[in-house]
Amino acid sequence: MKQITTLISTLLFGYGWLRSLLTLCTVLLLSNTLWTLPAAAQTLDEAAAGLSSESFVAAAVRRVGPAVVRIDTERTIVRNVPDLFYDDPFFRGFFGPDTFQQVPQEERLRGQGSGFIIDGSGYILTNAHVVDQADRVTVTLKDGRSFEGVVEGADEVTDLAVIKVDAGREALPIAPLGDSDRVEVGDWAIAVGNPLGLDNTVTLGIVSTLKRSSATVGIPDKRLDFIQTDAAINPGNSGGPLLNASGEVIGINTAIRADAMGIGFAIPVNKAKEIKDRLARGERIVHPYLGVQIATLTPDLAKRNNEDPNAGIQIPEVSGVLVIRVMPNTPAAEAGLRRGDVITAIDDVPVKTANQLQTRVDRTQVGQTLHVTVKRDRATQQLSVKTAELNNS
């Protein structure tokens, strides 16, 4: 034990040069570390600053914001205003009720919405209801420039319209169009527009669901499968773009439900791509229809209906599309479709949901004959239905 202690003492104190060398190295290492600490801290600060300035929302809005426009509309209507003495019983009794006539009076109604430029030559995409029956359209850009707009075409069924402005040789910003077929539930959704007259407003949310049919949200006169989002979409946002995280347009915002708190709907941009060029040329968009009100049917739903003693009708317990109502003087009525029929196939292609049937009809031509397979009671029937043009007026 004593020998070991002597050896350790010799190593620690006998070799003074070694101890000095170790001390010097330690000092140099500490000094170098202290010198590099501020540089490392500075690098971290710069990285944090860089991250904070790279907000994907800000980048998306910088890319598209200049192309988003405010649309102001004016429409003149004529009202019959009674004479001032018409409501006075004394004058009516003295002069007679036919003496005082109603006076026609013009009144100007003003509206406001949003839109976005899709072409350098001045074409703007918006909602049809934004410019409906407008006598005058004024388009204002984010940079303050203002132009008179002309409604080149509008389609009420899809609620889409194209406006044209003449900017001369002035350059116009363009909003890049994305691919709404690639959108997934949970993706970021950025709504840009002029809600409630507040210009250049941006709201952020996510895509809540896809292919939300117009019938399920209370507008059966439309033919749309909406993108649903929780990004705030208010009156005045109508016609503005819904963006993805890259700043591409994936939808056209539309304010359609006054009671839809926290729920917004947008028309998929791919739907607009299908008809925007025809609208720009002033072409009328035709939509085929059958003339039935329909709902998705499952065997379980049919069984519960049939077990209900108060049910007005017994329906086949199969999967398909239930005919709730047949409109009079329509192709469906002429072909012999009835309330309670279950459509199971179109041209031998099975259909199991109302959306599938609607999509199948939308892809046909007006006047095309469809071979419809129907379950009626316990029998299967084949009916031929010739589509007609939907008149939305």
**What is the set of active-site residues?**
129, 159, 238
User: If we measure between CA atoms, which residue out of 319, 326, 278, 328 comes closest to residue 300?
Assistant: 319
Residue 78, classed as helix, strand or coil, is strand
Question: Which amino acid, residue 39?
Answer: A
Angle 213-239-248 (CA atoms, 0-180°, nearest 5)?
Answer: 85
Contact 257, 263 (CB under 8 A): yes
* DSSP3 helix / strand / coil % (the chain, rounded to 5): 30, 35, 35
DSSP 297-361: E-HHHHHHHHH-TT-S----SSSEEEEEEE-TTSHHHHHT--TT-EEEEETTEE--SHHHHHHHH
Residue 101: Cβ within 10 Å count: 10
Rg (CA), the chain: 34
H helices, E strands: number in the chain:
8, 20
The DSSP H or E segment spanning 57 is helix 56-64
Structure tokens at 7: 């050896």
Residue 392, classed as helix, strand or coil, is coil
Determine the Cα–Cα distance for residues 321 and 329; give it in Å rounded to an integer: 21
Determine the Cα–Cα distance for residues 64 and 175; give it in Å rounded to an integer: 5
Determine the Cα–Cα distance for residues 226 and 228; give it in Å rounded to an integer: 6
Q: At CB < 8 A and 24+ separation, what contacts does 85-91 make?
A: none
